[in-house]
Structure 1
Amino acid sequence: MKRFTLALDLVDNPTLIAEYEKYHEKIWDEITKSILDSGIIDMEIYRIGNRLFMIMETEDDFSFDKKSEMDGSNQKVQEWENLMWKYQQALPMAQPGEKWLLMNRIFKLT
């Protein structure tokens, strides 16, 4: 199993943040299926202010390139991503078109 951590910002607007959280109380079934089908075993998203932090646990052979390819050909995932972009904003260091950015671990206790 592999673990990845990612970050993304939300538009700093309390109404939009509340809407975003509401969508994540019960994501669309098609989105859950696409996440699991890509090799992601578990996923959690945390928020402080308008900053999001995601933890993904994946199968050993998980690939972001493969997931991106799968997502690109899935109309429902594209619909979800376009909807979510209303609430999200790229981190200042993101390249054009990048959303969630991988974080580097800088400490581990054990």
Structure 2
Amino acid sequence: MRHCFALDLKDDPALIAEYERHHERLWPEIEASIKTQGITDMEIYRVGSRLFMIMETDETFSFEAKAAADAANPKVQEWETFVWTFQQALPMAKPGEKWMLMDRIFKL
């Protein structure tokens, strides 16, 4: 199944460049945590300061299980705290909400 998300970066070219550099050499613990939760593929795209993430999952994936595993993983929590220094919530996000699930409105 495909899930698409959006999130903003702080509108600072130096921070955006640094954020992209960190994704060129993703921490191995983060990559492992993604792969062990039923996520089979993930891509992040950027236009300006807006990010779009496309995530492909298998039948074992669960948003609830992923959230629980992430909350219990100190390295994932460290990564999330670190990348939040570059990120900012979308204007319509609720407090504490980061990546927002997008609704598909068209498919060919």
TM-score, normalization by structure 1: 0.96
Partner of 1:29: 28
Stretches (4+) displaced over 2 A: none
> How far did 1:61 drift?
3.0
SS in 1 for 2:94: coil
> How far did 1:7 drift?
0.2
Partner of 1:59: 58
Identity %: 64
Distance in 2 (CA, whole Å) between partners of 1:82 and 1:64 is 20
Partner of 2:75: 76
Question: What is the number of equivalent residue pairs in this alignment?
Answer: 108
Q: Unmatched 5+ residue regions in structure 2?
A: none
SS in 1 for 2:52: strand
Distance in 2 (CA, whole Å) between partners of 1:86 and 1:104 is 27
The CA RMSD measured in Å over matched residues stands at 0.5
TM-score, normalization by structure 2: 0.98
SS in 1 for 2:5: strand
Q: Unmatched 5+ residue regions in structure 1?
A: none
Distance in 1 (CA, whole Å) between partners of 2:67 and 2:10 is 24
